[in-house]
Amino acid sequence: MLTLEEAADFHGHLGPFLTIGYLAGEIAREVLKPEGIHDLRAIVNVPLKTPFSCIIDGVQCSSGCTLGKLNIEVKDSEQPFIVFESRDGRRVELQVKGEVVEKCLKLDMEEAVRWLLSLKREDIFEVSTQLG
């Protein structure tokens, strides 16, 4: 997987929504521990406009769910909500907290990224896991 810096190179800039997507994919890999490159599938529900859609690139870089492997699906949604499924049916759902989205839109980009990276993950996402 790519580092966040490499993800920024891929995406073109380091922004808060790229970072949010990147962190979501990291959490999914930690929780679901995929072994093969096709073990994980992502469904990224986001408003289909920038900067929200930058989340999609972050998810691809950290989770390995990519457009080219057809294991990522993108859906238009009012609030960013990212779902990861493993092949055996386990699932992690990450709802980006509304106040986090709002603050990311207010701060300048560098500040927003620094702020996000200083937070605990549970302060960014409402996480729900189904491991059974």
Residue 21 is a binding residue for Zn ion (CB under 5 A):
no
How many of the chain's residues bind Zn ion (CB under 5 A)? 2
Task: Give the nearest residue (CB) to Zn ion.
Answer: 54
- Chain-centroid distance of CA 112 in Å reads 16
Sign of CA dihedral 26, 31, 33, 38: negative
Q: Is 20 in the site for Zn ion (CB under 5 A)?
A: no
Q: Which of these, 39, 93, 47, 48, lies nearest to 71 by C-alpha position?
A: 39
CB of 10 to Zn ion, least distance (A): 11
| Among the residue ranges 12-20, 25-33, 36-44, 105-113, the one whose residues contact Zn ion (CB under 5 A) | 12-20
Nearest distance from C-beta of residue 51 to Zn ion, angstroms = 5
Question: What's the first-to-final CA gap in the chain, in angstroms?
Answer: 26
Of 4, 18, 39, 24, the closest CA to residue 82 belongs to 24
Of 8-16, 62-70, 101-109, 113-121, the segment contacting Zn ion by CB under 5 A is 8-16
Answer for which of 14, 15, 52, 72 binds Zn ion (CB under 5 A) is: 15
Residue 54 interacting with Zn ion (CB under 5 A): yes
Q: Which residues contribute to the site for Zn ion (CB under 5 A)?
A: 15, 54
